[in-house]
Structure 1
Protein backbone atom coordinates (compact mmCIF):
# COMPACT_ATOMS: atom_id res chain seq x y z
CA UNK A 1 0.00 0.00 0.00
CA UNK A 2 1.30 3.47 -0.85
CA UNK A 3 2.05 6.07 1.82
CA UNK A 4 -0.73 8.40 0.68
CA UNK A 5 -3.48 5.76 0.75
CA UNK A 6 -5.58 4.09 3.41
CA UNK A 7 -7.34 0.76 3.97
CA UNK A 8 -10.79 0.73 5.54
CA UNK A 9 -12.66 -2.34 6.79
CA UNK A 10 -16.23 -2.23 5.53
CA UNK A 11 -19.48 -4.21 5.66
CA UNK A 12 -21.33 -4.44 2.36
CA UNK A 13 -25.10 -4.38 1.94
CA UNK A 14 -27.86 -6.06 3.93
CA UNK A 15 -25.81 -9.24 4.33
CA UNK A 16 -22.96 -7.29 5.94
CA UNK A 17 -20.40 -8.88 3.66
CA UNK A 18 -16.89 -8.27 4.96
CA UNK A 19 -14.62 -6.19 2.78
CA UNK A 20 -11.56 -3.98 2.52
CA UNK A 21 -11.59 -0.63 0.73
CA UNK A 22 -8.21 0.55 -0.53
CA UNK A 23 -8.46 4.30 -0.94
CA UNK A 24 -5.83 6.54 -2.55
CA UNK A 25 -5.88 10.30 -2.40
CA UNK A 26 -8.05 11.79 -5.16
CA UNK A 27 -9.10 8.42 -6.70
CA UNK A 28 -9.78 8.32 -10.44
CA UNK A 29 -12.19 5.38 -10.23
CA UNK A 30 -13.34 2.42 -8.14
CA UNK A 31 -12.49 -1.18 -9.02
CA UNK A 32 -14.72 -3.79 -7.36
CA UNK A 33 -13.22 -7.28 -7.23
CA UNK A 34 -15.17 -10.53 -7.53
CA UNK A 35 -13.09 -13.50 -6.39
CA UNK A 36 -13.31 -17.05 -7.65
CA UNK A 37 -14.64 -20.19 -6.02
CA UNK A 38 -12.88 -21.20 -2.83
CA UNK A 39 -11.28 -17.76 -2.47
CA UNK A 40 -12.08 -14.62 -0.47
CA UNK A 41 -11.20 -10.95 -0.10
CA UNK A 42 -7.76 -12.14 1.02
CA UNK A 43 -6.91 -13.66 -2.38
CA UNK A 44 -3.17 -12.93 -2.73
CA UNK A 45 -3.42 -12.50 -6.50
CA UNK A 46 -6.34 -10.11 -6.32
CA UNK A 47 -4.68 -8.16 -3.54
CA UNK A 48 -1.54 -7.87 -5.66
CA UNK A 49 -3.59 -6.54 -8.56
CA UNK A 50 -5.40 -4.17 -6.21
CA UNK A 51 -2.15 -2.77 -4.83
CA UNK A 52 -0.89 -2.12 -8.34
CA UNK A 53 -4.15 -0.45 -9.35
CA UNK A 54 -4.02 1.59 -6.15
CA UNK A 55 -0.61 2.89 -7.20
CA UNK A 56 -2.25 4.14 -10.41
CA UNK A 57 -4.87 6.07 -8.46
CA UNK A 58 -7.76 3.60 -8.39
CA UNK A 59 -9.73 2.87 -5.24
CA UNK A 60 -10.23 -0.88 -4.88
CA UNK A 61 -12.90 -2.86 -3.03
CA UNK A 62 -12.24 -6.48 -2.17
CA UNK A 63 -15.08 -8.24 -0.37
CA UNK A 64 -16.44 -11.69 0.41
CA UNK A 65 -19.25 -12.62 -1.95
CA UNK A 66 -20.78 -14.95 0.64
CA UNK A 67 -21.23 -14.89 4.40
CA UNK A 68 -19.32 -17.50 6.41
CA UNK A 69 -22.48 -19.57 6.78
CA UNK A 70 -23.30 -19.40 3.07
CA UNK A 71 -19.77 -20.44 2.19
CA UNK A 72 -20.29 -23.74 3.99
CA UNK A 73 -22.64 -24.83 1.20
CA UNK A 74 -20.67 -25.77 -1.89
CA UNK A 75 -23.56 -25.04 -4.24
CA UNK A 76 -23.47 -21.35 -3.26
CA UNK A 77 -19.89 -21.05 -4.50
CA UNK A 78 -21.09 -21.77 -8.04
CA UNK A 79 -24.45 -19.97 -7.86
CA UNK A 80 -23.68 -17.28 -10.45
CA UNK A 81 -27.02 -15.39 -10.10
CA UNK A 82 -26.44 -15.22 -6.33
CA UNK A 83 -22.84 -14.08 -6.73
CA UNK A 84 -23.83 -11.53 -9.36
CA UNK A 85 -26.47 -10.14 -7.01
CA UNK A 86 -23.77 -9.67 -4.37
CA UNK A 87 -21.66 -7.67 -6.79
CA UNK A 88 -24.72 -5.51 -7.45
CA UNK A 89 -25.05 -5.03 -3.68
CA UNK A 90 -21.45 -3.81 -3.61
CA UNK A 91 -22.16 -1.35 -6.44
CA UNK A 92 -25.18 -0.03 -4.53
CA UNK A 93 -23.10 0.24 -1.36
CA UNK A 94 -20.45 2.26 -3.22
CA UNK A 95 -23.12 4.62 -4.51
CA UNK A 96 -24.00 5.56 -0.94
CA UNK A 97 -20.42 6.01 0.32
CA UNK A 98 -19.21 9.60 0.10
CA UNK A 99 -15.57 8.63 -0.53
CA UNK A 100 -16.37 6.72 -3.71
CA UNK A 101 -19.98 7.52 -4.65
CA UNK A 102 -19.09 9.73 -7.63
CA UNK A 103 -16.38 7.51 -9.08
CA UNK A 104 -16.74 5.53 -12.31
CA UNK A 105 -16.86 1.80 -11.54
CA UNK A 106 -14.86 -1.05 -13.00
CA UNK A 107 -15.26 -4.73 -12.16
CA UNK A 108 -12.36 -7.19 -11.92
CA UNK A 109 -13.45 -10.82 -11.82
CA UNK A 110 -11.34 -13.95 -11.42
CA UNK A 111 -12.42 -17.50 -12.27
CA UNK A 112 -16.14 -17.87 -11.43
CA UNK A 113 -16.04 -14.30 -10.13
CA UNK A 114 -15.74 -13.15 -13.74
CA UNK A 115 -19.18 -14.60 -14.45
CA UNK A 116 -20.53 -12.84 -11.37
CA UNK A 117 -19.00 -9.55 -12.53
CA UNK A 118 -20.49 -9.89 -16.01
CA UNK A 119 -23.88 -10.85 -14.59
CA UNK A 120 -23.80 -7.68 -12.49
CA UNK A 121 -22.60 -5.56 -15.41
CA UNK A 122 -25.57 -6.76 -17.46
CA UNK A 123 -27.91 -5.23 -14.87
CA UNK A 124 -25.90 -2.20 -13.75
CA UNK A 125 -25.39 0.72 -16.16
CA UNK A 126 -22.98 2.30 -13.67
CA UNK A 127 -20.32 -0.27 -14.61
CA UNK A 128 -17.90 1.40 -17.02
CA UNK A 129 -15.54 -1.52 -17.70
CA UNK A 130 -15.00 -5.19 -16.86
CA UNK A 131 -11.79 -7.23 -16.72
CA UNK A 132 -11.77 -11.02 -16.38
CA UNK A 133 -8.61 -12.84 -15.17
CA UNK A 134 -8.56 -16.55 -15.95
CA UNK A 135 -12.33 -16.27 -15.87
CA UNK A 136 -15.31 -18.40 -16.75
CA UNK A 137 -17.41 -15.78 -18.54
CA UNK A 138 -19.36 -18.60 -20.18
CA UNK A 139 -21.07 -19.22 -16.82
CA UNK A 140 -22.80 -15.84 -17.15
CA UNK A 141 -25.01 -17.39 -19.83
CA UNK A 142 -27.63 -15.14 -21.43
CA UNK A 143 -26.44 -12.17 -19.36
CA UNK A 144 -23.46 -11.84 -21.72
CA UNK A 145 -25.68 -10.46 -24.46
CA UNK A 146 -26.84 -7.63 -22.19
CA UNK A 147 -23.41 -6.45 -21.06
CA UNK A 148 -22.71 -2.95 -22.35
CA UNK A 149 -19.49 -2.16 -20.46
CA UNK A 150 -16.28 -2.68 -22.45
CA UNK A 151 -14.94 -6.09 -21.45
CA UNK A 152 -11.39 -7.45 -21.46
CA UNK A 153 -10.92 -11.21 -21.14
CA UNK A 154 -7.41 -12.24 -20.04
CA UNK A 155 -6.47 -15.92 -20.23
CA UNK A 156 -3.23 -17.82 -19.80
CA UNK A 157 -1.78 -19.29 -22.96
CA UNK A 158 -1.45 -22.67 -21.24
CA UNK A 159 -4.94 -22.59 -19.71
CA UNK A 160 -6.28 -25.15 -22.16
CA UNK A 161 -10.05 -25.48 -22.21
CA UNK A 162 -10.57 -22.11 -20.55
CA UNK A 163 -9.23 -20.37 -23.66
CA UNK A 164 -11.92 -22.03 -25.72
CA UNK A 165 -14.62 -21.19 -23.17
CA UNK A 166 -13.56 -17.54 -23.30
CA UNK A 167 -13.60 -17.51 -27.07
CA UNK A 168 -17.09 -18.98 -27.04
CA UNK A 169 -18.31 -16.43 -24.47
CA UNK A 170 -16.77 -13.62 -26.49
CA UNK A 171 -19.08 -14.47 -29.37
CA UNK A 172 -22.06 -13.63 -27.14
CA UNK A 173 -20.74 -10.20 -26.19
CA UNK A 174 -22.08 -7.29 -28.22
CA UNK A 175 -20.17 -4.65 -26.22
CA UNK A 176 -16.65 -3.56 -27.07
CA UNK A 177 -14.48 -6.49 -26.05
CA UNK A 178 -11.07 -8.08 -26.44
CA UNK A 179 -9.50 -11.43 -25.59
CA UNK A 180 -5.86 -11.23 -24.48
CA UNK A 181 -3.85 -14.43 -24.13
CA UNK A 182 -0.77 -14.22 -21.88
CA UNK A 183 1.94 -16.50 -23.31
CA UNK A 184 3.31 -19.17 -20.97
CA UNK A 185 0.69 -18.62 -18.27
CA UNK A 186 -1.42 -21.31 -16.65
CA UNK A 187 -4.78 -20.74 -14.95
CA UNK A 188 -3.47 -19.01 -11.81
CA UNK A 189 -0.76 -16.95 -13.57
CA UNK A 190 1.90 -18.32 -11.24
CA UNK A 191 4.70 -18.21 -13.79
CA UNK A 192 7.26 -15.37 -13.50
CA UNK A 193 6.03 -12.14 -15.04
CA UNK A 194 2.60 -13.42 -16.03
CA UNK A 195 0.59 -11.77 -13.26
CA UNK A 196 2.46 -8.54 -13.96
CA UNK A 197 1.27 -8.83 -17.54
CA UNK A 198 -2.31 -9.18 -16.29
CA UNK A 199 -1.88 -6.03 -14.21
CA UNK A 200 -0.50 -4.04 -17.14
CA UNK A 201 -3.36 -5.05 -19.43
CA UNK A 202 -6.04 -4.50 -16.79
CA UNK A 203 -4.64 -1.14 -15.75
CA UNK A 204 -4.63 0.17 -19.30
CA UNK A 205 -8.19 -1.08 -19.87
CA UNK A 206 -9.47 0.64 -16.76
CA UNK A 207 -7.59 3.86 -17.47
CA UNK A 208 -8.91 3.99 -21.03
CA UNK A 209 -12.54 3.36 -20.11
CA UNK A 210 -13.00 4.77 -16.60
CA UNK A 211 -11.11 7.98 -17.32
CA UNK A 212 -13.26 8.48 -20.41
CA UNK A 213 -16.40 8.09 -18.32
CA UNK A 214 -15.19 10.58 -15.74
CA UNK A 215 -14.43 13.14 -18.43
CA UNK A 216 -17.93 12.99 -19.95
Structure 2
Protein backbone atom coordinates (compact mmCIF):
# COMPACT_ATOMS: atom_id res chain seq x y z
CA UNK A 1 0.00 0.00 0.00
CA UNK A 2 1.30 3.48 -0.85
CA UNK A 3 0.76 6.57 1.27
CA UNK A 4 0.54 10.18 0.22
CA UNK A 5 2.97 12.04 2.49
CA UNK A 6 3.80 15.70 2.01
CA UNK A 7 7.33 16.69 3.00
CA UNK A 8 8.19 20.21 4.14
CA UNK A 9 11.64 21.57 5.02
CA UNK A 10 11.24 24.35 7.57
CA UNK A 11 13.17 26.96 9.50
CA UNK A 12 11.43 27.80 12.74
CA UNK A 13 12.41 30.88 14.70
CA UNK A 14 12.77 30.13 18.42
CA UNK A 15 14.02 33.12 20.37
CA UNK A 16 17.33 34.12 18.82
CA UNK A 17 17.77 30.76 17.11
CA UNK A 18 16.61 29.56 13.70
CA UNK A 19 16.07 25.80 13.85
CA UNK A 20 15.95 23.45 10.86
CA UNK A 21 13.10 20.96 10.80
CA UNK A 22 11.57 18.35 8.49
CA UNK A 23 7.79 18.01 8.67
CA UNK A 24 6.10 14.93 7.17
CA UNK A 25 2.34 15.16 6.67
CA UNK A 26 0.27 12.10 5.78
CA UNK A 27 -3.24 12.74 4.54
CA UNK A 28 -5.87 13.06 7.27
CA UNK A 29 -3.26 13.06 10.01
CA UNK A 30 -4.65 12.17 13.44
CA UNK A 31 -1.79 13.77 15.40
CA UNK A 32 1.77 15.05 15.16
CA UNK A 33 4.89 13.69 16.87
CA UNK A 34 7.80 16.02 17.61
CA UNK A 35 11.17 14.24 17.76
CA UNK A 36 13.92 15.21 20.21
CA UNK A 37 17.14 13.54 19.13
CA UNK A 38 19.89 12.40 21.44
CA UNK A 39 23.51 13.18 22.14
CA UNK A 40 25.52 14.04 19.03
CA UNK A 41 22.65 13.15 16.68
CA UNK A 42 20.47 15.27 14.40
CA UNK A 43 17.17 15.36 12.55
CA UNK A 44 18.88 13.19 9.90
CA UNK A 45 19.30 10.28 12.33
CA UNK A 46 18.45 7.12 10.34
CA UNK A 47 17.04 5.49 13.48
CA UNK A 48 14.61 8.32 14.19
CA UNK A 49 13.68 8.56 10.52
CA UNK A 50 12.83 4.87 10.43
CA UNK A 51 10.52 5.28 13.42
CA UNK A 52 9.01 8.41 11.85
CA UNK A 53 8.20 6.53 8.65
CA UNK A 54 6.25 3.93 10.63
CA UNK A 55 4.34 6.69 12.39
CA UNK A 56 3.55 8.36 9.05
CA UNK A 57 2.08 5.08 7.82
CA UNK A 58 -0.20 5.15 10.87
CA UNK A 59 -1.51 8.59 9.82
CA UNK A 60 0.67 10.48 12.31
CA UNK A 61 2.54 13.56 11.14
CA UNK A 62 6.14 13.87 12.33
CA UNK A 63 8.49 16.79 12.87
CA UNK A 64 12.20 16.02 13.14
CA UNK A 65 14.16 19.06 14.24
CA UNK A 66 17.72 20.09 15.08
CA UNK A 67 17.41 21.62 18.54
CA UNK A 68 20.84 23.25 18.15
CA UNK A 69 21.86 25.68 15.40
CA UNK A 70 24.86 24.79 13.18
CA UNK A 71 27.07 27.16 15.19
CA UNK A 72 25.91 25.57 18.43
CA UNK A 73 26.52 22.10 16.98
CA UNK A 74 30.11 23.12 16.19
CA UNK A 75 30.61 24.24 19.78
CA UNK A 76 29.01 21.05 21.08
CA UNK A 77 31.32 18.91 18.96
CA UNK A 78 34.24 20.39 20.91
CA UNK A 79 32.73 20.69 24.37
CA UNK A 80 29.87 18.12 24.42
CA UNK A 81 28.08 20.49 26.80
CA UNK A 82 25.03 21.71 24.92
CA UNK A 83 23.68 18.22 24.32
CA UNK A 84 23.33 17.95 28.10
CA UNK A 85 21.79 21.41 28.51
CA UNK A 86 18.37 19.93 29.24
CA UNK A 87 16.89 23.32 30.13
CA UNK A 88 17.85 24.85 26.78
CA UNK A 89 16.63 21.84 24.78
CA UNK A 90 13.36 21.65 26.73
CA UNK A 91 12.69 25.37 26.24
CA UNK A 92 13.11 24.93 22.49
CA UNK A 93 10.84 21.90 22.42
CA UNK A 94 8.19 23.86 24.30
CA UNK A 95 8.49 26.74 21.83
CA UNK A 96 8.21 24.33 18.89
CA UNK A 97 5.12 22.86 20.52
CA UNK A 98 3.59 26.34 20.65
CA UNK A 99 4.46 26.77 16.96
CA UNK A 100 2.77 23.48 16.01
CA UNK A 101 -0.39 24.51 17.87
CA UNK A 102 -0.95 27.69 15.85
CA UNK A 103 0.50 27.02 12.39
CA UNK A 104 -1.34 25.15 9.68
CA UNK A 105 -1.55 22.30 8.92
CA UNK A 106 -0.73 21.03 12.44
CA UNK A 107 -2.90 23.48 14.39
CA UNK A 108 -5.52 21.52 16.28
CA UNK A 109 -3.70 18.18 16.08
CA UNK A 110 -2.84 16.34 19.32
CA UNK A 111 0.91 16.50 19.95
CA UNK A 112 3.27 13.77 21.11
CA UNK A 113 6.99 13.71 21.85
CA UNK A 114 9.48 11.01 20.81
CA UNK A 115 12.76 11.47 22.67
CA UNK A 116 15.98 9.51 22.24
CA UNK A 117 18.91 9.43 24.66
CA UNK A 118 19.35 12.87 26.26
CA UNK A 119 16.48 14.14 24.11
CA UNK A 120 14.12 12.06 26.24
CA UNK A 121 15.05 14.07 29.32
CA UNK A 122 14.35 17.31 27.47
CA UNK A 123 11.05 15.93 26.13
CA UNK A 124 9.83 15.10 29.62
CA UNK A 125 10.77 18.54 30.97
CA UNK A 126 8.95 20.18 28.05
CA UNK A 127 5.93 17.92 28.62
CA UNK A 128 5.84 19.08 32.24
CA UNK A 129 5.96 22.70 31.02
CA UNK A 130 3.14 22.17 28.48
CA UNK A 131 0.75 19.81 30.29
CA UNK A 132 -2.29 20.93 28.28
CA UNK A 133 -0.52 20.58 24.93
CA UNK A 134 1.39 17.30 25.08
CA UNK A 135 -0.79 14.20 24.88
CA UNK A 136 1.87 11.45 25.00
CA UNK A 137 5.61 10.85 25.34
CA UNK A 138 7.76 7.96 24.11
CA UNK A 139 11.42 7.54 25.08
CA UNK A 140 13.81 5.30 23.09
CA UNK A 141 16.96 4.30 24.93
CA UNK A 142 16.44 7.53 26.80
CA UNK A 143 17.80 9.32 29.82
CA UNK A 144 14.52 10.28 31.51
CA UNK A 145 16.47 10.68 34.74
CA UNK A 146 17.87 13.91 33.29
CA UNK A 147 14.41 15.44 33.68
CA UNK A 148 14.98 15.46 37.44
CA UNK A 149 12.12 16.82 39.58
CA UNK A 150 10.09 17.64 36.44
CA UNK A 151 9.20 13.94 36.20
CA UNK A 152 6.64 14.29 38.97
CA UNK A 153 4.88 17.07 37.02
CA UNK A 154 4.49 15.18 33.75
CA UNK A 155 0.82 14.53 33.01
CA UNK A 156 1.21 12.94 29.57
CA UNK A 157 1.07 9.13 29.34
CA UNK A 158 4.71 8.06 29.02
CA UNK A 159 6.25 4.95 27.46
CA UNK A 160 9.90 4.17 28.21
CA UNK A 161 11.50 1.77 25.69
CA UNK A 162 14.89 0.30 26.59
CA UNK A 163 17.09 -2.39 25.07
CA UNK A 164 17.05 -5.57 27.13
CA UNK A 165 20.86 -5.62 27.11
CA UNK A 166 21.31 -1.93 27.96
CA UNK A 167 21.97 -2.55 31.65
CA UNK A 168 22.81 0.88 33.15
CA UNK A 169 20.10 2.62 31.13
CA UNK A 170 17.53 0.04 32.27
CA UNK A 171 18.25 0.99 35.88
CA UNK A 172 17.94 4.72 35.11
CA UNK A 173 14.60 4.11 33.42
CA UNK A 174 13.20 2.06 36.30
CA UNK A 175 14.08 4.91 38.66
CA UNK A 176 12.44 7.45 36.35
CA UNK A 177 9.36 5.25 36.03
CA UNK A 178 8.97 5.26 39.80
CA UNK A 179 9.07 9.08 39.83
CA UNK A 180 6.45 9.51 37.10
CA UNK A 181 2.91 10.11 38.35
CA UNK A 182 1.15 9.89 34.97
CA UNK A 183 0.07 6.77 33.11
CA UNK A 184 3.34 5.00 32.41
CA UNK A 185 4.96 1.85 31.10
CA UNK A 186 8.47 0.48 30.64
CA UNK A 187 8.99 -1.90 27.72
CA UNK A 188 12.21 -3.89 27.26
CA UNK A 189 13.18 -5.00 23.76
CA UNK A 190 14.83 -8.42 24.23
CA UNK A 191 18.41 -8.70 23.01
CA UNK A 192 18.69 -5.02 22.05
CA UNK A 193 21.56 -2.76 23.07
CA UNK A 194 21.55 1.03 23.45
CA UNK A 195 21.30 1.96 19.75
CA UNK A 196 18.87 -0.85 18.82
CA UNK A 197 21.16 -1.93 15.98
CA UNK A 198 20.25 -5.61 16.25
CA UNK A 199 17.94 -7.16 13.58
CA UNK A 200 14.30 -6.25 14.18
CA UNK A 201 15.11 -4.22 17.31
CA UNK A 202 14.21 -0.87 15.81
CA UNK A 203 11.15 -2.41 14.21
CA UNK A 204 9.99 -3.42 17.68
CA UNK A 205 10.54 0.17 18.87
CA UNK A 206 8.50 1.49 15.95
CA UNK A 207 5.58 -0.80 16.73
CA UNK A 208 5.58 0.06 20.43
CA UNK A 209 5.75 3.80 19.69
CA UNK A 210 3.09 3.61 16.98
CA UNK A 211 0.65 1.79 19.23
CA UNK A 212 1.25 4.19 22.15
CA UNK A 213 0.70 7.26 20.01
CA UNK A 214 -2.33 5.80 18.23
CA UNK A 215 -3.89 5.13 21.61
CA UNK A 216 -3.17 8.53 23.14
CA UNK A 217 -3.14 10.98 20.22
CA UNK A 218 -6.87 10.66 19.84
CA UNK A 219 -8.84 13.92 20.00
CA UNK A 220 -11.84 12.18 21.55
CA UNK A 221 -9.69 11.23 24.55
CA UNK A 222 -8.60 14.87 25.02
CA UNK A 223 -12.08 16.37 24.85
CA UNK A 224 -13.18 17.20 28.39
- Same fold by TM-score, threshold 0.5 exceeded? yes
TM-fit CA distance, 1:95: 1.4
Find the residue that maps to 1:121 and give its secondary structure: helix
Pairing partner for 2:40 from 38, 41, 44: 38
* 1:26-175 pair list within 5 angstroms: 26-71=28-73, 72-73=75-76, 74-124=80-130, 125-175=132-182
Deviations, residues 37-69 of structure 1 (Å, cap 9, x unaligned): 100000000000001100110000000011111
Q: Distance in 2 between the 1:215 and 1:121 partners?
A: 15
Find the residue that maps to 2:199 and give its secondary structure: coil
Distance 1:137 1:69, change over 3 A: same
* 1:195-206 pair list within 5 angstroms: 195-206=202-213
1:13–1:93 Cα contact (<8 Å) kept: no
Q: Distance in 1 between the 2:13 and 2:65 partners?
A: 11
Find the residue that maps to 2:196 and give its secondary structure: coil
2:3–2:26 Cα contact (<8 Å) kept: no
1:12–1:19 Cα contact (<8 Å) kept: yes
2:162–2:187 Cα contact (<8 Å) kept: yes
So what's the TM-score if we normalise by structure 1?
A: 0.97
Structure 2, gaps ≥5 residues long? none
TM-fit CA distance, 1:212: 5.2
When the two chains are superposed, the root-mean-square deviation of aligned CA atoms in Å is 1.2
Distance 1:96 1:212, change over 3 A: closer
So what's the TM-score if we normalise by structure 2?
A: 0.93
Find the residue that maps to 1:16 and give its secondary structure: strand
Q: Distance in 1 between the 2:194 and 2:43 partners?
A: 19
TM-fit CA distance, 1:13: 2.8
Q: What is the number of equivalent residue pairs in this alignment?
A: 215
Q: Distance in 2 between the 1:212 and 1:11 partners?
A: 28
Q: Which residue of 2 aligns with 1:12?
A: 12
Runs of 4+ in 1 over 3 A off after TM superposition: 212-215
TM-fit CA distance, 1:215: 6.5
TM-fit CA distance, 1:90: 1.1
TM-fit CA distance, 1:92: 1.1
